[in-house]
Amino acid sequence: MSLFIMKKSLRCYFLIIIIFLSCEKKKEQYFNKIVVDFNTTQEINTSSFIEHFKIIKLSTSNKTLIFRISKVQYKNGKVFILDMPGNCIYIFNNSGELEQKLSKQGAGPGEYIQLTDFYVENENLFILDYTQQAIIEYDKDFNFINKIRIQNFGSSFIHQNNSYWVYNEPSGKVPDYQFTALDKKGDKISDVLSRNSANHQFNWTGVNVFCINGEEKYLSPRYTDTIYRITNNNIQPEFYIDFKKRRLPGKENINNYDISDPDFSYLIKHNFYISKKYMIFDYIKDMKRYYCIYDRENNMNVSGSVNNDLIKSFRFFPRWGNDNYLIEELTPDILINDFSQSPQFKRFIDITKEDDNPLIIIYKLKEESA
């Protein structure tokens, strides 16, 4: 009898080990390691990964005077613009005409004190009020729907399957988690990715921590080498960027380094964008911006400086992106002073004044192999 139980137990153990090993194998399959050839001097043409582009000149009036663009999203043929110093959100159409403006400063229901982020889903607009530490949801006509309180110092967020993922600015506490998942009522589900020290000389900002590609949502702490996919209420590493001998040592915190210093020798990811076909990120080497274009279908990547052969005599410097789009802002003063020779901007030069609203360039990434 005891022999029978022992045999049975052994079989169960083996089965559990097999299940465990198969799960481990599955994890490896989903983990993409991207080795960056940072010694390359090659140029990557924009036409090799961008299908087409459009230039949108945002209309200018007293009602639509943008102070400074902090974030742009392109959704359902509309351009959503966060003006953080102006503390409002503009929605322009494809022709650059203003369709709506959210400006509800205050502490009453449906009002906010300081916007730091927004998110668009099914025509509803979600905003993050940094001062109140709250996420407020509006319908397409900006009627107030819901408000939840968040904790810590949340500065940006996304919505995923009835939960919110919030990026927290440093709190000075230990442990200090960079991301928090909250349910629809604002109750904490989990904290992830602790900062490995409390007090830093810098708090490097200016790059994204979330990326949206349809239903796929990703997060990655600023200037780090791992990008995680959000799955239900958890995260799993999806891309690992390997700068080989120029990578920042794993336990180091980027906020302890002066990344603006020309002598800063480590290579670090800046913005990252994930589309159906690509994962794209930029990095700085020798005071120059480089890009790595990783083809998700073929598991191959190319790194180098980007030559904008689609828009002649112009830079390539997208700062935002969502789904299959990369988005760049061109302020009128830079257009007039630096890129007036570009043939694609010729028609805008004569009608643009230095104090006009910026131009927005929307690059549509390729979806299929050529």
Partner 1 sequence: MKKRILSGLFALAILAATGYSVNKSMKSDTGLSDLALANVEALAQYENDPPSRDKWTKMSFQCLDSNGNPTGKTYISCIKTGYLDSCTSTSC
Give the binding site for partner 1 (CB under 8 A). 8, 11-12, 15-16, 114, 116, 130-131, 133, 149, 151-153, 155, 169-173, 185-187, 202-206, 255, 258-262, 284, 287-289, 315, 317, 334, 337-338
Q: Cβ 113 to partner 1, closest distance in Å?
A: 9
Burial class (CB in 10 A: 0-12, 13-18, 19+), 9: exposed
Tell me whether residue 170 or residue 238 sits nearer to partner 1 (CB atom). Answer: 170
Token pair belonging to 321: 């992106």
| 3-state DSSP assignment of residue 13 | helix
Tell me whether residue 64 or residue 308 sits nearer to partner 1 (CB atom). Answer: 308
Amino acid at 139: D
Closest C-alpha to 219, from 294, 159, 266 = 159
How distant, in Å, are the alpha carbons of 90, 101, 125 from that of 140? Answer: 13, 11, 7
Burial class (CB in 10 A: 0-12, 13-18, 19+), 19: exposed
How distant, in Å, are the alpha carbons of 138, 221, 265, 300 from that of 209? Answer: 23, 6, 23, 23
Q: Cβ 237 to partner 1, closest distance in Å?
A: 24
Phi-psi region of 222 (alpha: psi -120 to 50; beta: other; left: phi over 0): beta
Tell me whether residue 93 or residue 255 sits nearer to partner 1 (CB atom). Answer: 255
Tell me whether residue 59 or residue 233 sits nearer to partner 1 (CB atom). Answer: 233
Q: Cβ 146 to partner 1, closest distance in Å?
A: 14
Tell me whether residue 251 or residue 288 sits nearer to partner 1 (CB atom). Answer: 288
Token pair belonging to 106: 């205050």
Q: Cβ 249 to partner 1, closest distance in Å?
A: 20
Tell me whether residue 170 or residue 277 sits nearer to partner 1 (CB atom). Answer: 170
Q: Cβ 204 to partner 1, closest distance in Å?
A: 5
Q: What is the DSSP letter of 91?
A: E
Q: Cβ 140 to partner 1, closest distance in Å?
A: 28
Tell me whether residue 142 or residue 317 sits nearer to partner 1 (CB atom). Answer: 317
Q: Cβ 15 to partner 1, closest distance in Å?
A: 5
Name the residue with tokens 């930029």. Answer: 282
